[in-house]
Amino acid sequence: MADLRNTKKQIFTALIAMGFLSLVSLVVLFSPLAGSAASRDAERAQLANDLREKTREVVPLRGIDDKKMVEVRGQINEFYANRFPSLQSSVSEALGKVAAAHSVKIDIAKYESKADDKKETKDAQAVGLSRVQIEASFSGSYQNMMHFVNDLERTKTFFLVDSVNVGEAQGGDVKLQMKLEAYVKAGA
């Protein structure tokens, strides 16, 4: 009889505990902590879309063997070693060489290397690069300017042209205002 009372007491305690947990679960489910059913459905739909998008991004990489990845990594390392200088002064030197090669005069050049919160800057920092923003004004003949811009994009130092404004200068020359970006290895 004592065992029956003890078992009955344990079962009663377990039922109270389960009832309490059920009550707490209902409170959390319908409280602002869990959000509304519509917000949970919207979040689930957003997560499903994110999953589909990430899966679509990865599909081209499926089936790539390790040899190909080693080759690609080698090409990336070579690109970084050859196209991004270690010294920030190399950026202005490369710009000056290309301008001089095409008889283009650098009127003004302003170099700015500052950290900001742009995603591109954070991405560059993540791979060990630092961004240098350049605002420059050039003058010369139209033909020389065209060759200058073409060579600037092909030069060993990696330049990214953000904007170009062309105007007329004295004596039939062309005035070119450019905003550029270059990248140097971090710590330069």
Domain harbouring 108, CATH code: 3.30.70.60
Structural domain including 30 reads: 2-61
Q: Taking residues 16-36, report their average pLDDT.
A: 81
- Give the whole-angstrom CA distance, residue 121 versus residue 158: 15
Question: DSSP strand E in the chain: where?
Answer: 105-112, 129-140, 159-168, 174-185
Q: Please indicate, yes or no, whether residues 97 and 130 belong to a single structural domain of this protein.
A: yes
Q: List, in order, residues 6 or more apart from 178 with CB less than 8 Å away.
A: 134, 135, 136, 137, 138, 161, 162, 163, 164, 165
Does residue 69 belong to any structural domain of this protein?
no
Residue 133: its pLDDT value, please? Answer: 92
In single-letter form, the type of residue at position 151 comes to D
**pLDDT tens for each residue of 30-77:** 776 666 778 778 888 999 999 999 888 888 777 777 788 888 889 988
**Does one domain contain both 168 and 109?**
yes
Helix (H, G, I), strand (E, B) or coil at 149: helix
Q: Do 54 and 112 lie in a common domain?
A: no
Kindly report, residue by residue over 118-146, the tens digit of the pLDDT: 666 666 676 788 889 999 999 999 899 99
pLDDT score at 136? 95
Rounded CA separation 125/118 (Å): 11
Percent of the chain with pLDDT over 70: 89
- pLDDT bin (cut points 50, 70, 90) of residue 171 is confident
Same-domain check for residues 56 and 96:
no
106 vs 24: CA distance, rounded Å: 73
Sign of CA dihedral 122, 126, 132, 133: negative
Average pLDDT over residues 13-37: 82
pLDDT higher at 80 or 1? 80
